[in-house]
Amino acid sequence: MPPTPLAYFGGKFLPVTEAKVGLMTHALHYGTAVFEGIRGNWNEDEAKVFIFRPREHYVRFLDGAKILRMNLPVTADDLTRLTVELVERGDYKGDLYIRPLAFKSSQLVANLKLHEIDDDFGIIAVPFGAYLDSSVLRCVTSSWRRMSETMIPPRVKISGLYVNSILAKTDAVLAGFDEAILLNEEGFVSEGSGENLFIVKNGEIITPPLYNGILPGITRDTAIELARRELGLTVTERSIGRAELYLADELFLTGTAAHITPVGELDVRKIGSGGVGPVSKQLQDLYFNVIRGKVPKYRHWCVTAVPAALAPK
Ligand code: PMP
Give yes or no: residues 157 and 241 share one domain.
yes
Clarify whether residues 167 and 116 are in a common domain: no
What residues line ligand 1, using a CB cutoff of 6 Å? Answer: 37, 165, 191, 194-196, 215, 217-220, 254-256
Predicted structure pTM score: 0.97
Same domain for 237 and 271? yes
Q: Which of 93, 127, 161 is at the close of a domain?
A: 127
Which among 48, 104, 157, 169 is annotated as catalytic? Answer: 157
* 157 carries an active-site annotation: yes
First to last CA, the chain: 27
Q: What is the pLDDT of residues 46-81, one digit of tens each?
A: 999 999 999 999 999 999 999 999 999 999 999 999
Within 10 Å of residue 241's Cβ, how many Cβ atoms?
A: 12
Q: Print the domain residue range for 44.
A: 6-127
pLDDT value at position 135?
A: 94
The answer to whether residue 310 sits within a structural domain is: no
* Domain identity same for 114 and 157: no
| pLDDT for position 312 | 80
Query: What is the model's pLDDT at position 309?
Result: 86
Residues (pLDDT < 50) of the chain are none
Ramachandran category for residue 81: left, alpha or beta (phi over 0 → left; psi -120 to 50 → alpha): alpha
Nearest CA residue ID for atom 4, ligand 1: 194
52 and 70 share a domain? Answer: yes
